[in-house]
Chain A
Amino acid sequence: MLLLAFDTATPAVTIALCEAPDAGPPGAGRVLAELTTVDARRHGELLTPGIREVLAKAGAGARELSAIAVGVGPGPYTGLRVGLATAQALGAALGVPAHGVHTLDALAFASGRSEPFLAATDARRKEIFWARYADARHRETEVAVDRPAEVPVGGLPVIGHGGLLYPDVLGGGLDPVYPSAGALGLLAAERLAAGEPLPPARPVYLRRPDARQPGAPKPVSRP
């Protein structure tokens, strides 16, 4: 399969084109081209031109793609939605499936670790998105959003930007800091080849929208 992967749930806009067998054991896929740009404010401007660039670098056309894999977050909403809107639209326009991959799973997979660890990304508002992993391929907890001090780190190493932001509590954040689309794509390809289901390409927000129901109108009269 020829799989286009990308993630916009962190300050990084990361895009990769991966080639992998349709079935079989893990480890057989390869990254044909990859592009990562860290710019938290320009996801919407960078993603589609980046996709075009990655396809061109690999000498592939959009119509040759067999699937899309996108990071479903959680992550800051505005950037996250750029990735999801793009994945859904590409899937619909090309007539190929658009699969989701949890962003933290992609980060964990890229670490290649074989011992337990935590993966964490920035959730803003002094909180992090985090999950615990048995190794690079296996997540042990649901993805959660918490203040760093409330996370049961239990002495485990912490990978990712979330750890980097709170070195006192989380020990500094080991590599990789951001997810890579190459890892995301290879993980997706591995799961698909193994017949494991992937989540749909829909965003994981973990928080409700901020909105307040109005009370009675405030009086405007002079006293």
Chain B
Amino acid sequence: MTDAPLVLGIETSCDETGIGLVRGHTLLADEIASSVEEHARFGGVVPEVASRAHLEAMTPTIARALDRAGASLADVDAIAVTAGPGLAGALLVGVAAAKAYALALDKPLYGVNHLSAHVAVDQLEHGALPKPCVALLVSGGHSSLLLVRDLAQAVVPLGATVDDAAGEAYDKVARLLGMPFPGGPPIDRAAREGDPAAIRFPRGKYDDGTLDFSFAGLKTAVARWVEDRRRAGEPVPVADVAASFQEAVVDVLTKKAIAACREHGADHLLIGGGVAANSRLRALAEERCRAAGIHLRVPRPKLCTDNGAMVAALGAELVSANALPSRLDLPADSSLPVEYVRV
């Protein structure tokens, strides 16, 4: 696929400035400049801090990616950029830069959906996606189940969180237990030493028959449980709390993901987003998929978190499907609906 078009992908929906270069399903560069450390002391992403960092990082990170791929801007055939959903000010930096590159290089521009990009990235690792397939996307910003019939045009939302994203619950529970932001990795680590059955935390919307999620009740239940222990002067068994909380999260996520596959006749499940790096989510998903006869696809952790490769991957998909490019007046849309793969 060396003669497939070279697509530059730009991602700035949250705190990572991600730049990717892709030809077809081949990943040539995936460079990230992260402002996560600047946000850590605030316990969450501060939009203005993220936007400032994106602007600082944009052109140097693109130069680094080209360098890594052994390519020059003149080789770029198309530009793809996350148009939404995400933080409005952060998205706008990427969209403005992408338009300028498109104008200067006289190449087509594709404003794409961040969620579809999380799905597309798996093709860089595991090849073409079978049709249809169900995608479970979990991160600090999203918890969604999608039915992917055709990545270039038809992505259908099946369910989403009605309150907090799963990753957000991780961040809040981590803070409660005195762990750093972002909360996913430290909780995952602590949970390995704990008993997931030690405390029976509630599983929101577990048997409600929908494919939606709810994590706010779980988060509150964990906080109450910990406070009660502290008030009683008893030590908090951090590992057990972490393991039991994590078990509640991944139990609901995997149960609903399998149900989605069954309901829609999909025999492939894809997991993406930052929380896909979670070891317990991977293990339980593998176990349940095997039992249900479903093939599980999870890209390597670096491709699961937000990055530019995923945007380039979706751009490459659109180019090969002869999709119409976006207009230069395309807006950044912080609440872009899932159904719009391309803007």
A: residues with CB less than 8 A from B are 42, 44-49, 51-52, 62, 77-78, 81-82, 84-94, 203, 205, 209-214, 217, 219-221
Contacts and interface: CB of A to CB of B under 8 A. Distances in A.
A189 to B, nearest CB: 20
Contact of A93 (B43, B55, B94, B105): B105
Interface centre among B46, B104, B231, B330 (most CB of A within 10 A): B104
B97 A221 contact: no
A214 B48 contact: no
A217 to B, nearest CB: 5
A85 B97 contact: yes
Contacts of B332: 44
The interface size bin for chain B is: 35 or more
Contacts of A220: 220, 223-224, 227
B103 A213 contact: no
A212 B330 CA distance: 33
Given A89-B59, A92-B62, A220-B220, A82 B96 contact: yes
A209 B328 contact: no
A203 B55 contact: yes
Given A45-B330, A81-B51, A217-B176, A86 B227 contact: no
Contacts of A217: 172, 175-176, 223
- Across chains A and B, which 3 residue pairs bring their CB atoms closest together, nearest first? A93-B104, A89-B100, A209-B48
Given A51-B103, A92-B59, A93-B73, A213 B41 contact: yes
A11 to B, nearest CB: 16
B103 A62 contact: yes
Contacts of B42: 211-214
B43 A86 contact: no
A207 B65 CA distance: 32
B180 interface: no
Given A85-B97, A88-B97, A45 B331 contact: yes
A89 B46 contact: no
